[in-house]
Amino acid sequence: MGADTKDAPLNSANQRQKTMASPAQKISISAGDALIVVDVQNDFLPGGSLAVPDGDAVVPVLNRYLAEFSARELPVYATRDWHPANHCSFKARGGPWPPHCVAESPGAQFAAPLRFPSGTLVISKATQPDKDAYSGFEGTDLDARLRARKIKRLFIGGLATDYCVLNTVRDARRLDYNVYLLSDAIRAVNINPNDGPKAEAEMQHLGAKPITLAALGT
């Protein structure tokens, strides 16, 4: 990515337990809907400094969701960690993680195969040395941008289920958005074996509805 900005436009396998929506359930996307792609960055993919197991498997699925939203000219937002080199989440500063997604580094770039439509807005988070942020809403203007577009429903997928996806969904529900969790386009870190399923269960308890591509009729 180029400039360090929250809203720069873009031009161009864990074993998991899932509770899916019924195959018969179909959802039409239209005005008032937005797609949020959470942190699908190189450092979270296989070979990255903080790789999510099977993390690259979300990319082709997300591309199909991106195509659906693009075809209907619906807004797409892409969140990203955009850390300073001395970020508080890094082990050198007492945090839990190895250095990852350092701003302007190759590891911070979005996965190259992602096909973001023109006009995708990038939301950079955790950009300050002493403040962490797992949610795409924390310390950003994402909520203000969604409300300016009169967005009511959010379709959320990406990495990782048990951290940034979970916290983004938590905040989205707290802010009274209707949320659809893209169950076929998420993967978990699973530091503990059941962290992913527990996160999915929590998101559903909060009111997020799990769906797959089949729900959009693709």
- Residues labelled catalytic: 39, 125, 164
Angle between helices 166-174 and 195-205 (to 10 degrees): 10
Neighbours of 153 (CB within 10 A): 16
Nearest to 1 by CA among 75, 80, 61: 80
